[in-house]
Chain A
Amino acid sequence: MEFEFRLPDLGEGIAEAEIRNWLVEEGEQIAEHQPVVEVETDKALVELPAPKGGRILKHHHLEGAVVAVGDSLLTIDTENGNQERPPSYGIVGELPEAEEAAPPNKQTKTPTAPEPAGEVHALPSVRALAKELHVNLDKITGSGPERSITAEDVRAAADAAPKEPGEPKQSEEPEEPVPAAQERLPQQGIRRVIARKLLQSQQLTAFVTTMDEFDVTRLCNLKLREEPQLAERDLHLTFLPFFIKATQHALLEFPRFNARLDEQSNELIMQPDCHMGIAVDTDDGLMVPVLRDIATKSVIRLAEELQRLSEHARQRSIAREDLQGSTFTLTNFGSYGGHFATPIINYPNVAILGCGRIRERPWVVAGELAIRQILPLSLTFDHRVSDGAEASRFLSHIGRYLEDPGLLFIESV
């Protein structure tokens, strides 16, 4: 139903008003009492509310027009307006209304029945222990009530050769958490654990290796120059601290390689600090002790720590917590020989840098042949986290610090 909203008598003998400003558009839905227009009289600027709700069909005047009292301002279609009472249900409150009919039931995938792996009977605390020790519960027969797996069962499995359930292990681990300072690693079973971890890494990551060579002649000269001084302090300077520092700096530009992938939530968890795992070959097998907070340490300090580390490794006294918490790993196999390689990611890191042997090689420098010191680098990365182009750029970035050590100085933080 159409309703004409006419300029009302604004009182005080006013006969006309100028339309200053329409507050609503044609076609707009309005409510009763809603201000629809501003008009100006001799005395004041007045906002007029609509006496009825509905849809604005037409403005009858343009802004600036002078309108007499009684003239139509607007036509309102009240049929669809709030003039019509809303449907009443329920006596109280407001029920939400469906907008559209729900689509017909989609074909839902029937969930595939879980593999009948056999239920693992283990309490939450035991499961947490198993996870920490990287023990696969599926492989264990429980010795607890209802054939449940106990903490002892888990620890036994984490160590040496498989034992009969219930038999005491040879190297008994203490039940209580071990005090930090004097933790000694049990000698047995390490290789088992290492093997398991390496396999796990290759099963869980999408590993790819990119390789490149860099002219580190300047670096070699720098090292040669500084070595004697440090030797006076009984400090043996190797290339490793330089590799570590260069990598840490490059990670500032490429933090993805320092991160950790949360497979559950599919989120990349960025790690603010760089803790470098250093692959170390010991008589007992490969170990990866961790140098912490690389960003806060100089090359010299790193050299000191590495020196201490190799001493511990020789004495088989690396503490357990020094083997945890790396965000990136470096393997300096070049000290044994070797050029390029495909190192295995130290899971749950997302990348590992392998450093081959520095060799004198014929090289092209400014268009001419020269003898240069060439370092091969191999970067294995988790392709789920990064693509090849980015990985190559990261590797090049490390390389440029090693080619021109001065860059470390001017780009250092």
Chain B
Amino acid sequence: MPREPIAHFQIERLGILDARGEVDTELLPPLSDSQFLQLYELLQLTRLADERALSLQREGRLGTFPSSLGQEAAQVGSGFALARQDWVFPSFREIGVFLCLGYPLSTYLRYWMGDERGLLAPPELNIFPINIAVGTHLLHAAGAALGARYRKDPVVAVAYLGDGGTSKGDFHEALNMAGIYRLPLVAVCQNNQWAISVARNKQTAAATLAQKAIGYGIQGIQVDGNDVLAVYQATSEALERARGGGGPTFIECETYRMSDHTTADDARRYRDPAEVETWRDKDPLLRMQRFLERRGLWHEAEQRELEETQRRRLDAAVAEAEAMEPPQVEEMFRYTCHQLSSRQQQQLQECRDGSP
């Protein structure tokens, strides 16, 4: 018998807004001018907030911080598409998503100052706490998606991860289950080309990350991660599919980590500065600015005003975060479980007394 191919697959890449600010009008998402402006403002706010966080870290006012510089479009484009009731499962590099959803910035900063109260999401938002154990939260998203479907809630569970996360076992187990159970789940992968010092091509032999979806029998797509419109469009499509019972989608946003892995990393040790430079022209804010300019929606003077307003907003958020009372030792005990055991109560007292 001849050997014959029994299956064919293909992976699409979506781009709408290119580096020069020109759009493919056929693919342009149906957003109003005001929404385009909102997108841009969120991109700008993300950049300024990220910059401020780095600054605070250098001043000793914030702990280690992972910058999102260069990845604003991947975060804002996807965040903007989410519905209020959707459940979000972040990793640790999604400041733009938090801002999109209206998470109080002062609370967000508190987390990076080392305070768990930073993860106490407001009741109207369904944002799971920042996840440090890479990739493990995809399973939680799968569980929530299953729960939502069981309850017939019009909820999609959206999980964020990086290129490194696609190597983890839990990523595999989660997407596999998402496929079998046809879960209302969207996994947004910010492929910023680096997992600390390990380059993308050392993370997997697969040509794209998006094609990993094929193995799980689910939809996968690659988008230009610096193109906020493409990210928005791909996410919207995925959410609609999930909400309609069409199952999960894996979105690979191809972007670049312009900064170090965290403030305790020095990328100059392992990265060629020339490579970083090639991505400067692909800057997500720049192209959106050009797009808006051409539509007559953006002006230089307004830019300055926008930055000033946003900086003041940042100042207020920082002040609020720093004005918060420090946490009490009692909280260490209080949230460990629903009700303290007699031993825990005794230990709390010992902790307060400073006794052995």
Contact = CB atoms under 8 A, between A and B. Distances in A.
Contact of B55 (A33, A86, A90, A93): A33
B63 interface: yes
Contact of A91 (B58, B59, B63, B264): B264
Interface residues of B, number: 13
Given A32-B58, A85-B266, A93 B63 contact: yes
Contacts, number: 33
Contacts of B263: 88
B203 interface: no
A93 B263 CA distance: 9
Given A93-B63, A93-B64, A88 B58 contact: no
A92 B59 contact: no
B260 A88 contact: yes
Interface in A66-88: 82, 85-86, 88
B208 interface: no
B21 to A, nearest CB: 32
A31 interface: yes
A92 B58 contact: no
In this complex, the member of A31, A32, A88, A90 whose beta carbon has the largest number of chain B beta carbons within 10 angstroms is A88
A54 to B, nearest CB: 13
Contact of B196 (A85, A91, A93): A91
Nearest to A83: B58
Interface string B239-268: 000000000000000000000111111100
Contacts of A33: 55, 59
Q: Is the interface of A mostly helix, strand, loop or mixed?
A: loop
Given A93-B63, A93-B64, A88 B265 contact: yes
A183 to B, nearest CB: 36
Contact of A92 (B55, B260, B264, B266): B264
B266 A88 contact: yes
A84 to B, nearest CB: 11
In this complex, the member of B58, B196, B262, B263 whose beta carbon has the largest number of chain A beta carbons within 10 angstroms is B58
B58 A82 contact: yes
B59 A32 contact: yes
A264 to B, nearest CB: 16
B59 A31 contact: yes
A91 B262 contact: yes
A92 B58 CA distance: 14
Interface string A87-99: 0111111100000
B264 A93 contact: yes
Nearest to B114: A93
B207 to A, nearest CB: 28
B136 to A, nearest CB: 17
A90 B197 CA distance: 12
A31 B55 CA distance: 11
A86 B266 CA distance: 10
Interface of B: 55, 58-59, 63-64, 196, 260-266
Interface of A: 31-33, 82, 85-86, 88-94
Given A88-B264, A92-B64, 12 more contacts: A31-B58, A32-B55, A32-B58, A88-B260, A88-B265, A88-B266, A91-B196, A91-B264, A93-B63, A93-B64, A94-B63, A94-B264
5 contacts: A90-B264, A91-B264, A91-B265, A92-B264, A93-B64
